[in-house]
């Protein structure tokens, strides 16, 4: 800059007085002065911003690392420590410099990135909406609802009193998306004598408020029994469908006064698993508006006859909006718990009615001397169980192709 100024001072115009600065010299000098001032101001601003950002990094690190912050406190409560692990207090001790303070000052950007990465991983692990958690929860237990009841004993009258109050969040068992629940009451191991509530039509949160008395029951025998409540869905046309059950040993209850309980319903002990499986295929033809149901074979069917076997056949009902439309059935396989059917049935179903259509498949045991027994059922539709819905959707997604799948028979 000094070199330029000297050179400019040596130049003069004609007519200017010697020693007096010319107009060009003044203009260039002003421009240079303004440029220097702007440069100095910008440098100062950069330095000030750098110091501020450094303080902000430091403050953010200290704030996040302090357990008094609301976010840090809630996350630590949600974290599950591994077996044998110890809870470590991360709060800094007053008057003591944290061990990583020098690292924070020298490499604030690295510390911030590490902290963000660790917090992100913890938040992902604790996220309530993660797919892994939902899948694990869905596989662990099916929600069957819960029931409220009370029980007590009158010593003067030797009477056990059971009051069934209400149920909540029952699953839908009917095609209309609801259920017709009622409750059976037993004192196990006696299953011959039972009491029942009234049926509550189309209600997934029924209120019964019904009281039942077991009169003339000595207390010594009462404490040897198990109170068993079974919630069922009433079915006018076929066997009632079990929803869930609750059992409570009476020797573990203080019966001197009425005790009220809320209990989650559990799958019925005589439910799926012991009734066998059925292999069938579905084939949907959208151009012909038809579904072909092929009953292929069954395995490990439950023995319904005294001789330890069964005479199975299969009924196939086409339902539309909770109304029976058409029924077909296979031949009976005598004394066979692993029968092979290989019979196909075609049903006409318009595409616009597909979402309201349900196919009920019932495996029966034929009996000449009495009423035929139900071995198990399968409901195929858009709103059945997970396995049934998967089969239904696979059928829609693969038109004109037979889609085969094994199904567990249910009570």
What are 323-357's pLDDT values in tens digits? 899 999 999 999 999 999 999 999 999 888 888 89
Interval 288-303: pLDDT, tens: 999 999 999 999 998 8
What does the pLDDT read at residue 86? 32
Phi, psi of 183 (to 5 degrees): -125, 135
What distance in Å separates the CA atoms of residue 275 and residue 51, rounded to the nearest whole number? 75
Res. 400: pLDDT tops 80:
yes
Choice between 62 and 32, residue whose per-residue pLDDT is larger? 32
What's the angle, vertex CA 245, arms to CA 243 and CA 249, rounded to 5?
A: 175
Q: Which of 108-117, 209-218, 319-328 has the lowest mean pLDDT?
A: 108-117
Read off the pTM. 0.42
What does the pLDDT read at residue 5? 35
Sequence-separated (6 or more) residues with CB below 8 Å from residue 213: 159, 160, 161, 162
What does the pLDDT read at residue 142? 60
Tokens standing for 282? Answer: 């579905």
How would you class 409 by CB atoms within 10 Å of its CB: exposed for 0-12, middle for 13-18, buried for 19 or more?
buried
What does the pLDDT read at residue 241? 78
Interval 246-268: pLDDT, tens: 999 999 999 999 999 999 998 87
Percent of the chain clearing pLDDT 70 (strictly above): 68
Residue 189, preceding bond cis, omega within 30 degrees?
yes
What distance in Å separates the CA atoms of residue 320 and residue 377, rounded to the nearest whole number? 17
Q: Give 310's DSSP letter.
A: -
pLDDT confidence of 48, banded at 50, 70, 90? Answer: low
Interval 127-149: pLDDT, tens: 333 333 333 333 334 688 999 99
Of 326, 315, 317, 309, give the one whose Cα is nearest residue 376.
315
Mean pLDDT of the chain: 74
Of 228, 149, 217, 238, give the one whose Cα is nearest residue 190.
228
How would you class 48 by CB atoms within 10 Å of its CB: exposed for 0-12, middle for 13-18, buried for 19 or more?
exposed
What does the pLDDT read at residue 237? 62
What does the pLDDT read at residue 238? 60
């Amino acid at each position: 800059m000094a070199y330029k100024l000297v050179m400019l001072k040596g130049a003069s115009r004609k007519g200017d007085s010697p020693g007096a600065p010319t107009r060009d010299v003044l203009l260039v000098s002003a421009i240079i002065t303004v440029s220097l001032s702007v440069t100095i101001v910008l440098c100062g601003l950069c330095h000030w911003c750098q110091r501020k950002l450094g303080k902000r990094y430091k403050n953010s690190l200290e704030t996040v690392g302090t357990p008094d912050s609301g976010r840090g406190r809630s996350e630590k409560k949600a974290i599950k420590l591994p077996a044998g692990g110890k809870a470590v207090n991360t709060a800094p001790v007053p008057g003591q410099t944290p061990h990583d303070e020098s690292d924070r000052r020298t490499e604030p950007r690295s510390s911030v990135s590490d902290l963000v990465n660790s917090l992100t991983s913890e938040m992902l692990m604790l996220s309530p909406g993660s797919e892994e958690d939902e899948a694990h929860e869905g596989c662990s237990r099916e929600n069957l609802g819960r029931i409220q009841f009370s029980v007590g004993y009158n010593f003067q009258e030797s009477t056990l009193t059971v009051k069934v109050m209400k149920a909540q969040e029952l699953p839908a068992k009917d095609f209309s998306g609801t259920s017709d629940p009622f409750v059976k009451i037993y004192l196990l191991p006696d299953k011959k004598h039972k009491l029942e509530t009234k049926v509550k039509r189309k209600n997934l949160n029924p209120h019964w408020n019904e009281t039942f008395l077991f009169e003339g029951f000595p207390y010594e025998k009462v404490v040897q029994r198990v109170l068993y409540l079974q919630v069922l869905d009433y079915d006018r046309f076929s066997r009632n469908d079990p929803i869930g059950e609750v059992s409570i040993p009476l020797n573990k209850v203080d019966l001197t006064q009425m005790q009220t309980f809320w209990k989650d319903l559990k799958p019925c002990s005589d439910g799926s698993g012991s009734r066998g499986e059925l292999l069938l295929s579905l084939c949907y033809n959208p151009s012909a508006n038809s579904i072909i149901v092929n009953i292929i074979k069954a395995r490990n069917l439950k023995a319904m006859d005294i001789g330890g076997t069964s005479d199975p056949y299969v009924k196939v009902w086409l339902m539309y909006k909770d109304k029976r439309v058409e029924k077909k059935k296979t031949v009976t396989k005598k004394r066979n718990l692993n029968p092979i059917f290989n019979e196909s049935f075609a049903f006409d179903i318009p595409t616009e009615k597909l979402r309201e259509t349900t196919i009920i498949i019932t495996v029966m045991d034929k009996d000449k001397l009495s009423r035929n027994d139900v071995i198990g059922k399968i409901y195929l539709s858009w709103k059945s169980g997970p396995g049934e819905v998967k089969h239904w959707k696979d059928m829609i997604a693969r038109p004109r192709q037979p889609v085969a799948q094994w199904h567990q028979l249910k009570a």
